[in-house]
Structure 1
Amino acid sequence: MMYDIELKSVSKTYIGSDEAAVNNINLTVEKGSIVTLLGPSGSGKSTTLRLIAGFERANSGQITLAGKVVSDQSKWIPPEKRGIGMVFQDYALFPHLNVFDNIGFGYKEKDRKQRIMEVIELVNLKGYEKRYPNELSGGQQQRVALARALTRRPVVVLLDEPFSNLDTDLKNQMRIEVKRIIKEAEATAVFVSHDQKDALSISDKIVVMDEGTIQQIGTPRQIYQYPKNRFVANFVGQSNLLKGRVDTEDNTVETRIGIINCNTIDGGFDNKEEVLVSIRPDSFIMDHKGKLKGNIKELSYTGEAIEVVLEVQTPNNKKHNLLIRVSPDKVIHIGEEIKFNIIPNFVSVIKKE
């Protein structure tokens, strides 16, 4: 396996702080992949990016880029010699330079003109070479910043919250466009984001971080369908968390709303162990023959779906609210009783903390 980035036991504590911004993290990024560091403010994702870039120096651990050690206890290579391309949150374009000169800034190789035109075509900006940043849309400015980062054929491209300044419609377009550009350039990229939709739509792998530590690494599908702990379940999407007792023999969990079938009891649990069950709102299917039932307490139409707060009667005659998501073509009303089933593939069993 070829890795363009390797972090081994990397930690960083800022002067004047008692807590580590990044605490003993280990991470590998495969060549040609797109990885997103995802987490809330203060999770350590931006510090991790800055450590890879060389804008900060780790207190301990080792960082390797394309097989070359760029940071450890005895060695530290500055950013300009690490072979990285950087796309900043505000794009950092030079207002007095046109598109061509912004993209080619600092590039002095013999193939300068040819290389600049190659990346201009890659980012679909041919014909815009003589325009200035103030004559471009937000999405076009972002593509100029990405083209500039790719011009030097970097080992890795680092992108810090690249979509945060865009409106919703443009953000959706640019997720697709930026992913296409990076894949066509055969680049390795690391994003920083606090937006779960960015991470799920653009990444080959997601690294979920909190309080300076890695909570889970996986594909978007793995992170969404099978969160490993309470934090990931709550931060990445919405989730219903229920206490339960696992039955490892028939892959079920007994909960307050009944017996739930699961596909993720993988030998890491003892039979009858107390656990948490994470059930995504998408995991529920309305079915008039369903084994579970409840009354609709609240409705919210989002366009893509109807979000329903469902009040479920538990076996011991108590009530429990579930958040479920149903198809927008369903005709349902507050107070109505509906029956439903739960898809086992979207149920994750979590160690009780």
Structure 2
Amino acid sequence: MNAIQLKSVSKTYLGTNKPAVNDINLSVKQGDIITLLGPSGCGKSTTLRLIAGFERTDSGSISLAENLVSDKSKWVPPENRGVGMVFQDFALFPHLDVFNNVGFGYKSKDRTKRVKEVLELVGLSELAKRYPHELSGGQQQRVALARALARRPVVVLLDEPFSSLDADLRVQMRLEVKRIIKEAGATAVLVSHDQKDALAISDRIVVIKDGVIQQNGTPREIYQNPANKFVANFVGETNILKGVVVEGEACVATSFGTIPCRNTPNIKAKEQVYVSIRPGSIKKDENGPFEGRVLDTIYTGQNIDAKIEVDLGNGTKQSLLMHFHPDEIVNDGDIVRFRVLPDFVAVV
């Protein structure tokens, strides 16, 4: 069953000529976690607000748990949609303790039992009597998530849930939030501009640009087979090169050599294309067919990111980003030979 169904949904705000959301079609299966990913102003937050009922569509329809909540003639208010919301700043009530923040607005007879259940789920049972100012950022986030889950919503919506957390806590909370949502059996939609958040937590990622869905796929599909140059550049680091598909081979001929590629069967031979080469597919190899000079390096701990320059002849050069193992010694000016592996190379 689809927990969420958007059909031809559009929204344009007053005073603007450009749609914030333009003819979006989206289905979310029950129990899935999806991330709406894109730059600021791309329409991802508007999409979330339309699902929640904070905004009304100009056209199209929205269904939750196969119940129509919005179309041209019908609009169900947010409080009747069965939606749980986790706001960017968590929006906890400072005068209420954790227990009463989680149970706020919950009027069923099983309130005490239900609040205890979700507090146990998020690992905060022992902090039920504390107030928000006595909690860490990660604990506040878990309280906000517990409150959203308390009413057993059809879907949980999270607006930039990790943006206010520091880097170390952010990594920890990605895993924790995913665990909590999965254990609760909930369906969740996150909004993020951070591709690391999206790749870490999502069953599917929906990449949006200018109010239009560019690609909808699993994290692996999005990263390994980006649908176009925008997706390739926005999700992770990449090298974009012009090329021509080689007839009869899974390769693209580029300015510095022929590159093996995973998805050329879908492209006509001799067609001019762009190819995305992830830095992880460029491997140092003393017997490799290509050679470049190291221009600049950055040590990240996980890798050494190196910008290398390939001489194409006739005074033209091509720059590429590649990764070295962090234990390697790489100096500016070094000449390195390399090959390109096909796993993270795709026509875009």
Q: What TM-score range do you get, normalising by the shorter chain?
A: over 0.9
- State the partner residue of 1:35: 34
Q: 2:99: which partner in 1? A: 100
Question: Does structure 2 conserve the Cα–Cα contact (< 8 Å) formed by 1:193 and 1:199?
Answer: yes
CA drift of 1:248 comes to 4.2
Contact 2:250–2:265 at 8 Å: present in 1 too?
no
Q: In the alignment, is the contact (CA less than 8 A) between 2:36 and 2:190 conserved in 1?
A: yes
Which of 288, 291, 299 is equivalent to 1:290? 288
**SS of residue matched to 1:105:** coil
CA distance in 2, matches of 1:147, 1:39: 27
Aligned to 2:129: 130
In structure 1, C-alpha distance between the alignment counterparts of 2:253 and 2:313, rounded to whole Å: 11
AA aligned opposite 1:6: Q
Shift of 1:318: 2.4
Deviates further, 306-315 or 147-156 = 306-315
> Which residue identity lines up with residue 241 of structure 2 in the other structure?
L
SS at match of 1:11: strand
Q: Is the 8 A contact 1:257 1:315 kept in 2?
A: no
Map 1:176-195; keep pairs closer than 5 Å. Answer: 176-195=175-194
Q: Normalization by structure 1: what TM-score?
A: 0.97
The answer to whether the 8 A contact 1:44-1:211 is kept is yes
Q: Deviations over 1:5-53 (max 9, x none)?
A: 0000000011111010000010001110000000011100000000000
Separation of aligned partners in 2, 1:108 and 1:39? 37
Deviations 1:178-233 (A, max 9, x none): 00000000100000000111001000000000101001111111111111111111
Q: Determine the C-alpha separation between the residues in 1 that align with 2:183 and 2:213.
A: 29
CA distance in 2, matches of 1:198, 1:132: 28
**What does residue range 1-353 of structure 1 map to in structure 2 within 5 Å?**
2-267=1-266, 269-314=267-312, 318-350=316-348
Alignment partners' CA distance in 1, 2:96 and 2:2: 36
Deviation (angstroms), 1:329:
1.3
1:292–1:339: 8 Å Cα contact kept in structure 2?
yes
Structure 2: tracts of 5 or more residues without a match:
none
Secondary structure at the counterpart of residue 266 of structure 1: helix
How far apart are residue 239 of structure 1 and its match?
A: 1.0
- The alpha carbon displacement at 1:266 in A equals 3.1
- The runs of 5 or more residues in structure 1 that have no matched partner are none
Identity over aligned residues, as a percent? 62
Distance apart, 1:108 and its partner CA: 1.1
Distance 1:341 1:317 in 2: 23
Q: Distance in 1 between matches of 2:261 and 2:336?
A: 22
User: How far does residue 287 in structure 1 lie from its aligned partner after superposition?
Assistant: 1.0
SS of equivalent residue, structure 1 residue 75: coil
Aligned counterparts of 1:317 and 1:343: Cα–Cα separation in 2: 27
Runs of 4+ in structure 1 displaced over 6 angstroms? none
TM-score in terms of structure 2 length: 0.99
Letter in 2 for 1:298: D
Following the alignment from structure 1 to structure 2, what is the Cα–Cα distance between the partners of residues 258 and 77?
58
Partner of 2:125, secondary structure, is coil
Aligned length, in residue pairs: 348
Task: Give CA deviations for 1:274-299 in whole Å, capped at 9, x if unaligned.
Answer: 00000011111111111111111111
Give the 3-state SS of the residue equivalent to 1:290 in structure 2. coil
Instruction: Give 3-state SS (helix, strand or coil) of 1:109's partner.
Output: coil
